[in-house]
Amino acid sequence: MKRIEMEVSGGCQCGAVRYHATAMLDNSHLCHCRMCQKASGNIFAALVAAPDDALSWTRGKPSVWKSSELVERGFCANCGTPLFFHHLENGRTNLMIGSLDDPNAFPPLANTCTENMVTWFETITGLENTGATETNGADWAAAIRASNNQHPDRDTTSWTVRVREAESY
């Protein structure tokens, strides 16, 4: 894997946890293992690694859960955003590409753990594109914009985090 010196930032949806990296690795990929599927709540986890020595937490700290003896996964305890996959022995932290401020900077280069790939994965690029949110529900999109609690896709000097209210279902 090649180390690329570059500035990258990202964080969770509510803004309670933010990170910054001064280098990244060229390993962007989609992991289809069942642990990544469950941890991301999706059919794959889109990941790209930062060397541990290049990664710092600039606001708050992620909560961590050990999904195995070798792996810990980080997330925001307030909003639940999955943030990373960290193998305890390899010196890098695989960040969730969707948590980056610029997820377009890291197109996936590979699919991994494909024995768990859902059978319909290769059909998703052929799905109908129904357009932008505003096209399909202007009133709904306006209501979301007016009540949006999401942190912007950039670093901020200050941010008021809306604390999660406990709910049960």
- Digit-coded pLDDT (tens) for 79-113: 999 999 999 999 999 999 999 999 999 999 999 99
Contact (Cβ atoms closer than 8 angstroms) between residue 1 and residue 47: no
Please indicate, yes or no, if residue 159 is contained in any of the structural domains: no
pLDDT band with cut points at 50, 70 and 90 for residue 143: confident
Contact (Cβ atoms closer than 8 angstroms) between residue 12 and residue 79: yes
CB proximity list for 158: less than 8 A, separation 6 or greater:
none
Cα separation, 84 vs 90, whole angstroms: 14
Cα separation, 11 vs 14, whole angstroms: 8
Cα separation, 53 vs 62, whole angstroms: 17
CATH, residue 41: 2.170.150.70
Please indicate, yes or no, if residue 158 is contained in any of the structural domains: no
Cα separation, 60 vs 57, whole angstroms: 7
How many domains, in total, are found in the chain?
1
- Concatenating the DSSP letter of every residue in 32-53 gives --HHHHHHHTSSSEEEEEEEGG
Please indicate, yes or no, if residue 154 is contained in any of the structural domains: no
Please indicate, yes or no, if residue 96 is contained in any of the structural domains: yes
Task: Tell me how far the alpha carbon of residue 18 is from its chain's centroid.
Answer: 11
**Domain of 98, in residue numbers:** 3-121+133-146
Cα separation, 151 vs 33, whole angstroms: 29
Q: What is the CA radius of gyration of the chain?
A: 17
Please indicate, yes or no, if residue 17 is contained in any of the structural domains: yes
pTM given for the model: 0.89
Q: Is pLDDT above 80 for 165?
A: no
Residue 133: the pLDDT is 76
